[in-house]
Structure 1
Amino acid sequence: MPAPIDSGRRRLLKAAATIPVLPAAAAAPIPQMADRVRPGHPHWPAPAVWQQLGAQLEGGLRQVRSPWPACRADAAACADLFQRAKNPYFLGDDVALTQTLGWVDAWTSSPSAYAVEARKTSDVVAAVNFAREHRLRLVVKGGGHSYQGTSNAPDSLLVWTRRMDAVQLHEAFVPANCAAAPQRAVSVGAGALWAHVYDAVTTRGGGYVQGGGCMTVGVAGLVQSGGFGSFSKRFGLAAGNLLEAEVVTADGTVRIANACTHPDLFWAIKGGGGGTFGIVTRLVLRVHELPETFGAVNFTVRAASPDAFRKLIRLAVDHYAERLMNPHWGEQIRIRRDNALAVSMVFQGLGRSEANAIWQPFFDAVGAAPKDFSIDFSPLKVVSTSARTFWSPTLLKRTLGFIRRDDRPGAPEANVFWPGDQGQAGQVLHAYQSTWLPAVLLQQGRRSALCDALFAASRHWGVSLHFNKGLAGAPPDAIDAARDTAMNPVAAEAFALAISGAEEQPSYPGVAGHEPHVAEARERREAIGRARDELRRVAGKAGSYVSESDFFEAGWQQAFWGDHYPRLLGVKAKYDPSGLFFVRHGVGSVSWTDDGFSRRPSAGH
């Protein structure tokens, strides 16, 4: 439960730029780390050594057991497990599970050998020191939403931050050692989920914090990847709203990072990727004034032929460029292979009648060509609500199916999620691609080429244009804050992130009747790759969003971080010289094999 709102008094951290939790010897220079060890290796810690760590953690250490072996042997248990896997809170509350169960030909969700169930920062320090001293592969998991599989690794030590979920509002926060004007903010434990933060900040606190659109995503992971939400076109990146963070670095030291203290580390964790520079244990985020209303626009238009669909794409692109590329609008339009265009957009700061008026020219254009287009004129195609109740599971929203709750007995009332996000729970990915689309493509001289590329891509696979994941059209202050993060700079110049993906519902290798469909996955991957290629012909080397990208992305350093990558390497070398923290396709990861256990003899960066 969130803590009470504090009095706004400035925290006494001016002298605490670096907080040593262990004796000074623990922070001594660290030699280059050798290959890591697995269970069965002569240097793997003996049971008595693990027991000592458990005693230090006051019972917060556990051996992790995967539920899948038992599932393979018991059909009834297996059916129950796959059913429960559709509840994202069930997955998040199990130390052995992740939200995505794998990616065909890439990775399979496999639990660590041991997990530190961290409840306070000193638990994280103990885990970091233990992993460093015993040459263990270290993994960090909060919400466990990584599509890339970075929140799990077999034979590793997991730092599980899920129980570090305190949320506290501050009426007058000033970052440590900064001479800045006090402002409203919220401090959040690393394991908190966005649903719980929205409940504290918006539903009960009457403010707005920029977080993720999916409510079961972890706060720390989203911020460290940059972090887009439904209303990022107005409020910017989650990382751009970070005021301060507490970070445990590879030497076991707890550091306060903000614009005035360890500013290089602060910059790197704002979009440089989670689990790379240290373990974030607490974040402080800016709280904005809450708009009066939030709303949504949902409908589908079907074209009668491929030629009509080309016209429909042009209508939608023109409408977006002329009326929607501004701070009021977010979310997406899906361009489907079946010649249909599905609109799932949200708005803020407008009333329902204003939103209707903005869309009326599009409805008129579609209605003027009944032989080409048909539209589902649902009475709920444009809705609005009080912004304060947007994330609240009101009876009306639950009755209409707009929001769902964790259905386990005794689950907290704030355990809610959007029905559209349930498809991610327990999914196995077949493929996933993303491409930033520069706003220059919306210029009149280039718009036709963009529309042709979107149509050509849709012949291979569907494409979703996530308008809130490109900041072109956002207010200058939101764009400036985004430019002061490690995020690829092209995000500030893009009008949308184009995403194509394919998945199947809960499946797991070796479970009879639930095996992933490998051949189908490979066919889909090729089709999605062709769709991506059509878009990149017009977008150029626009890059990809690290959290929503291809596991097999070539040139990922440039794609994820652009010109910021060399600077990120410098921060990595300073705070983690031995390479204790590793995620595949993370900053500095090419020094290691893809599993993170063995050093490459002479790798580049």
Structure 2
Amino acid sequence: MKGLLNLALVGLALASSGSDSSCRCRPHQSCWPVEQEWIALNRSVQGNLQATQPVAAPCHEGNKKACAAITQEWTNSTWRATQPGAVQWENWEARPELNESCVLETRQTTCGQGRISLYSVLAKSASHIQDAVRFAKRFNLRLAVRNSGHDFVGRSTAPDSLQIFTYWLKNIQFSDDFKPAGTPKSEGPAVTIGAGINLMELYAAVGQKGRTVVAGTSHTVGAAGGYIQGGGHSLMGPWKGMAADNVLEFKVVTANGTLVTANSHQNPDLFWALRGGGGGTFGVVVSATLRTFDEAPITMVNLNVSTVAKNPGFWGAMADFHAAIPSLNDAGASGYYFITPNMPFKKMEVSRLSILLFFPNQTNVAKIDKLVAPLQSKLNATAGLITEYASIPFPSIHSLLSGLLIRGNMDPTGKNVILGSRLFSRELLVSHNGPGKLVNAWKKLKFNPGDTITGNIVAGGAVAKNAESVDNAINPAWRKAATHMYFARYWAPNATLAQQQEVIRNMTEVDMLVLKDVEGYKMGAYPNEANAYEPNFQNEFWGSNYPRLYGIKQKWDPNGLFIARKGVGSEDWDDAGLCRIKRK
């Protein structure tokens, strides 16, 4: 408790005469909880409250032993997920506008708190979350809801805040015949997971039961957190729909500290919003119940295309590939692809396209080879291109995931990164000039050696068909999409504020405008993998669903206790979520 006392005393020492009711209470104000109140909160959450410091602080403090351990784990996503003083990407730990950062790579500056919460409740139960929410409401504190910290948009951290850390909610329960609360109707086999269950843990559990679920391909993404609440794309999407399409029920703590059930029969508006409306916005999810499906075999195709850099035929081949996506998708294919315009290779530079296609519940390899053959033939006819092809059957989806896509126990992370993303429609790719128009837009963007454009064939099929049978908050553009593409921009750990702002400006005002122009702004972006500085996030992330989402937000959280960057209702607050900027 020493750390708790020290932070409380700092707050008292800096106390001002009062607080602005339009802003969150800050440590230098008299409204800030005093020592005894923090102690009481700690007691109520059974000793699971801790004062939080940035994870690299020991290195700045000269603790060599601790720093050596931190250095070894710095880029390990699994380790970062367990640390309340870290998230997966360094830039969301820092507060550059106040020159506050605490990173491993630069130790010549003072270690600042940045956006890392001052306190964290390491929630082990719903009651811990309820106590934390009531405490934050009582003292008008900034709340930050954090799962694994796998967050490209900065929703998991907030300055001068109290963190609710859901990572340790690790319960898993299977049901052969799940009936949502309030109805006798069975929804069939399902799994209920605590908010802290990550994808690696989820796949292992369902695999042991001979089941599978719709989820992503990462070790440390928290399945019930921002992943599903943001929509949740998946390689199983064309087969079974979005992750948000396959949620049956949530248990969630709302802004008044009440634990409620949200499904299609109880609190259906909240249930609608939580399936795609964004994480950390409508409440704190304690658990989610997901449909499970019979395990199935799956066939993977790996098609690699390479040529010397600056071969004019490379981008034409990219257009040919995108033109083939709709027919592949119609045949049940999902997949990921990676375009590297300029990749150092030995003593030369090459341009490369690497494609992974997946055919769930399909075992006829010869049929799949025949399906891909026209594309391969077209690529082979392009001067200077070399193609490599393999089709590999897997006995189960679990064997593909554990043996190839998410093998091991970590993802590399720990950089300063922002993303730009765009959904591109099937209509575009089946049009005569559409694939070329798409590729020409990407060709205009600048890519440094090794930079990659990532494509996700995770829509179409059931994602499109579910527009007729599933009503949830995901951007309607998903139902029209053929591919979701994104790219990354980075800056160095010692980049100045001006240098960081230039990267952000170029992403927002140059690169993204080029991509938006491809379809005249009619599509959108995936909120979990998008530009963290998107000025028109309401329409880009949620399209025509935004007004309904905003209304539900005002009903369930009228005082804006749950504010997440670029989330529903965040336009009413400053970027840090500390002060209102729009009066009601």
Provide the secondary structure at the position in 2 that maps to 1:259.
Answer: coil
Indicate the residue corresponding to 1:206 in structure 2: 210
1:538 corresponds to: 518
Superposition deviation, residue 503 in structure 1 = 2.9
1:371-410 → structure 2 map (5 Å cutoff): 371-375=383-387, 377=388, 381-390=390-399, 393=402, 403-405=406-408
Which stretch shows the higher mean deviation, 487-496 or 313-322?
A: 313-322
* Residue equivalent to 1:364: 377
User: Does the CA contact (< 8 Å) of 1:335 and 1:458 recur in 2?
Assistant: no
User: After superposition, what is the alpha-carbon deviation per residue over 1:264-305, rounded to whole angstroms, capped at 9, x for unaligned?
Assistant: 000011111111111110100111122222535252322564
Which residue matches 2:77?
A: 88
Q: Which 10-residue stretch deviates more, 354-363 or 522-531?
A: 522-531
2:320 aligns to what SS in structure 1? helix
**Which has the higher mean CA deviation after the structures are superposed, 120-129 or 107-116?**
107-116
Segment drifting more, 540-549 vs 64-73: 64-73
Q: Structure 1, unaligned stretches of length 5 or more?
A: 1-31, 406-415, 509-514
Q: Distance in 2 between matches of 1:199 and 1:188?
A: 13
Greater alpha carbon shift after TM alignment, 553-562 vs 290-299: 290-299
What are the residue-to-residue correspondences of 1:125-144 with 2, within 5 Å?
Answer: 125-144=130-149
Deviation of the 1:196 alpha carbon: 0.6
> Partners of 1:350 and 1:121 in 2: how far apart?
41
The residue type paired with residue 203 of structure 2 is Y
Aligned to 2:428: 441
CA–CA distance in structure 1, aligned partners of residues 246 and 435 of structure 2: 36
Compared CA separation, residues 46 and 305, structure 1 to 2 (3 A): closer
Q: Distance in 1 between matches of 2:462 and 2:199?
A: 22
| Alpha-carbon distance change, 460 to 531 in structure 1, aligned in 2, over 3 angstroms | farther
Secondary structure, in 3 states, of the residue corresponding to 2:421?
A: strand
Is 1:36–2:24 an aligned residue pair? yes
| SS, match of residue 260 in structure 1 | coil
- For residues 180 and 45 of structure 1, what CA distance do their matches in structure 2 show? 47
1:45-67 deviation line (CA, Å, top 9, x unaligned): 11111111111111111111223
Bigger mean CA deviation after superposition, 101-110 or 526-535: 101-110
> CA separation in 2, counterparts of 1:259 and 1:584?
28
Please point out which of 299, 304, 319 is paired with 2:304: 299
Aligned mate of 1:592, from 573, 580, 583: 573
After TM superposition, the runs of 4+ consecutive aligned structure 1 residues lying more than 6 A away are: 104-109, 517-520
SS of corresponding position for 2:319: helix
- How far is the alpha carbon of 1:212 from its aligned partner? 1.7
Please give the per-residue CA displacement for 1:79-100, whole angstroms capped at 9, x wherever unaligned. Answer: 6424312211110111111111
In the alignment, the residues of structure 2 paired with residue 355 and residue 454 of structure 1 have an alpha-carbon distance, to the nearest angstrom, of 31
- 3-state SS in 1 of match to 2:568: coil
1:373 partner amino acid: L
| Aligned counterpart, 2:531 | 550
How far apart are 1:73 and its partner, in Å?
A: 4.3
Deviates more, 1:75-84 or 1:34-43: 75-84
- Residue 476 of structure 2 aligns with which residue? 489
- Which of the residues 213, 228, 233 maps onto 2:233? 228
Query: How has the CA–CA distance of structure 1 residues 527 and 126 changed in structure 2, closer, same or farther, with 3 Å as cutoff?
Result: closer
Shift of 1:333: 4.1
Distance in 1 (CA, whole Å) between partners of 2:143 and 2:578 is 10
SS in 1 for 2:43: helix
Instruction: Identify if the C-alpha distance between structure 1 residues 486 and 372 changes in structure 2 by more than 3 Å, giving closer, same or farther.
Output: same
In structure 2, C-alpha distance between the alignment counterparts of 1:388 and 1:489, rounded to whole Å: 28
In structure 1, give the amino acid aligned to 2:256: D
What code does the residue aligned with 1:363 have?
Q
1:149 maps onto 2:154 in alignment: yes
Return the alpha-carbon distance in structure 2 between the equivalents of residues 503 and 354 of structure 1. 42
Partner residue in 2 for 1:16 = none
Cα distance 1:368–1:543, how it changes in 2: closer, same or farther (>3 A)?
closer
Residue 96 of structure 1 contacts residue 110 of structure 1 at CA under 8 Å; is this kept in 2? no
CA apart distance, 1:388: 5.0
Change (3 A) 1:269 1:479: same
- State the Cα distance separating 1:33 from its structure 2 match: 6.6
- Whether the 8 Å CA contact 1:245–1:283 is kept in 2: the answer is yes
When the two structures are aligned, how many residues end up with a matched partner? 535
1:20 corresponds in structure 2 to none
Change (3 A) 1:188 1:391: farther
1: distance between equivalents of 2:34 and 2:211? 50
**2:243 & 2:299 partners in 1: Cα distance?**
19
Residue 562 (structure 1) shift: 0.9
TM-superposed deviation, 1:250: 0.8
Task: Please list, as runs of the form range in 1=range in 2, the aligned pairs for 1:100-119 lying within 5 A after superposition.
Answer: 100-102=89-91, 110-119=115-124
For 1:475 and 1:316, the matched residues in 2 are separated by 21
1:343 to 345, 348, 355: 355
- Indicate the SS of the match to 2:288: strand
Shift of 1:151: 0.7
- Whether the 8 Å CA contact 1:142–1:192 is kept in 2: the answer is no
Does the CA-based 8 Å contact 2:281-2:564 persist in structure 1?
yes
Q: What is the TM-score normalised by the length of structure 2?
A: 0.84
Q: 2:325 aligns with which of 317, 320, 329?
A: 320
Structure 1 residues 354 and 303: alpha-carbon distance in aligned structure 2, compared to 1, 3 A threshold: farther
**Deviation at residue 321 of structure 1 after TM alignment:** 3.0
CA distance in 1, matches of 2:27, 2:505: 37
Deviation at 1:521, TM superposition (A): 5.5
Asked if 1:63 is matched to 2:51, the reply is yes
Indicate if the aligned counterparts of 1:143 and 1:162 stay in contact, CA closer than 8 A.
Answer: yes
CA distance in 1, matches of 2:391, 2:233: 23
Checking the alignment, whether the CA contact within 8 Å between 1:297 and 1:346 is kept in structure 2 is no
- Structure with greater contact order relative to length (CA < 8 Å, sep ≥ 6): 1
The equivalent residue for 2:345 is none
The structure 2 residue matched to 1:577, chosen from 543, 549, 558, is 558
Aligned to 1:243: 248
Partner Cα separation in structure 2 for residue 304 and residue 350 of structure 1: 36
Whole-angstrom distance in 2 between the partners of 1:264 and 1:474: 23
Structure 1 position 223, deviation (Å): 0.9
| Higher alpha-carbon deviation: 245-254 or 75-84 | 75-84
Aligned equivalents of 2:289, 2:433: Cα separation in 1? 41
CA contact (8 A) 2:242 2:463 kept: no
Separation of aligned partners in 2, 1:374 and 1:584:
44
Shift of the 178–335 alpha-carbon distance from structure 1 to 2, 3 Å rule, reads farther
